[in-house]
Amino acid sequence: MSGGRRNVPTLPVPLLRDAVARETARLSLRQAAAQISLSPNGLRNFLNGSAPRSATRAKLERWLSNQQRVTRPPNIGQLVRLLDELSGDLSPQQTMRLGREIAGLLAAAYETRRLSPPRWVQQFLQQYRARRGKTASEVA
């Protein structure tokens, strides 16, 4: 991640919540919160359904992307890290466009094989289609 770049959320909140819940299940709430740099109450509130602020969301995504555990399907941490690396020199608007195009390519690949796109692909499609036309400040 480049130092001066604003961190643009890349995951839909429900998908982020599920991925964080899976990763934090192996730790105590206090341990997970300390690793993420959140208060235990803030982490608990997020896991129980509260909407995160953009700074909290960035911390959650950054922590998740640093987890080395391989999970199936898909490894959300690796996906977040890859998208962040690919868009390191891009503007927030370009990063959102990249996310939209990746989601579209994934859906098209499943459809080409005559498979229904998995739920996580559908969530990415929904996230980026819903954001079309909004400014970067409205995305966070």
Most confident listed range (5-19, 28-42, 86-100) = 28-42
Q: What single string gives the DSSP state of each residue in 50-75?
A: PPPPHHHHHHHHHHHHH-----SS--
Alpha-carbon distance of 62 to 123, in angstroms, equals 20
8 assigned to some structural domain: no
132 assigned to some structural domain: yes
Number of domains forming the structure of the chain:
1
Residue 126 structural domain: 13-139
84 assigned to some structural domain: yes
Task: Return the sign of the alpha-carbon dihedral for residues 49, 53, 59, 61.
Answer: positive
Q: Tens of pLDDT along 34-69?
A: 999 999 999 999 999 999 998 899 899 889 888 866
- This prediction has a pTM of 0.50
What burial class does residue 9 get, using C-beta atoms within 10 Å of its C-beta: 0-12 exposed, 13-18 middle, 19+ buried? buried
81 assigned to some structural domain: yes
37 assigned to some structural domain: yes
